[in-house]
Amino acid sequence: MTADDVEAIELGGMLPITADLLVRLAAALEVAVDLHVVADGRNTVVFEERAA
């Protein structure tokens, strides 16, 4: 992932946000990601710090 890709995400650009991308971001940031997807569209994504 390039700095331009990250900037596109931050600015709400056209880069598709996928579960795989969220996992890659979490790995790069060394945090855990919790993705909760529900049928009614109230989806949540939470990045949590790893325990030291």
Q: Where are the domains of the chain?
A: 3-49
Q: pLDDT value at position 7?
A: 80
The Cα 37–Cα 52 span in angstroms is 28
Per-residue pLDDT at 52: 57
pLDDT in tens, 9-51: 777 766 677 888 888 888 888 888 888 888 898 888 888 876 5
pLDDT > 60? residue 5: yes
pLDDT for the residue numbered 31: 87
Q: Which of 25, 19, 31, 32 is nearest to 6 (CA)?
A: 25
DSSP 1-52: --HHHHHHHHTT-S----HHHHHHHHHHHTEEEEEE--TTS--EEEEEEPP-
pTM value?
Answer: 0.56
**Confidence (pLDDT) at 2:** 79
